[in-house]
Amino acid sequence: MLRIAGINIPEDKRLEIGLTAIFGVGRPQAHQILTESKVDFGKKPKDLSATEENAIRKAVEERKIEGDLKREISQNIKRLKDIKSYSGSRHSLGLPVRGQRTKTNARTRKGPKKTMGSGKKKVDKK
């Protein structure tokens, strides 16, 4: 089982797809890693030799991934909130940050619709 940066890489998937299980590694980044370590994109983790595994591990560890990347992202958002920028205020209100409309759509950021109910008072039955 191939384990890189504390993440298990799926054995049955091709390396270019399997590496995307690591936070901060997408398809383009996975292609760069495999090109640097001189490993074929279509190879599966179970077919790797020990030298290829070490080359991939070394290439991945040079990049900012997982905890370091998450920490940097949260620090950037915190900085925007602290300086009270427009995008920082949108983050704190839980609204879309990058100029999307909110009259309709934006349900991912805003959550499910909040309705006030029917408006009628319930009558007590005696």
Q: Yes or no: is domain 3-63 CATH 1.10.8.50?
A: yes
Q: Where are the beta strands (DSSP E) in the chain?
A: 3-4, 7-8
The CATH 1.10.8.50 domain(s) of the chain lie at 3-63
Residue 82 burial (CB < 10 Å; 0-12/13-18/19+)?
Answer: exposed
Task: Record the pTM.
Answer: 0.75
Q: What pairs with residue 8 in β-bridges?
A: 3
The CATH 4.10.910.10 domain(s) of the chain lie at 67-98+105-110
pLDDT per residue of the chain (126 residues) written in tens, 0 to 9: 788 888 899 889 999 999 999 999 999 999 999 999 999 989 999 888 999 999 999 999 999 998 999 999 999 999 999 999 999 999 999 999 999 999 999 999 999 988 887 777 777 776
Give the Cα separation of 13 and 42 in Å (integer): 9
67-98+105-110: what fold?
30s ribosomal protein s13; domain 2 (4.10.910)
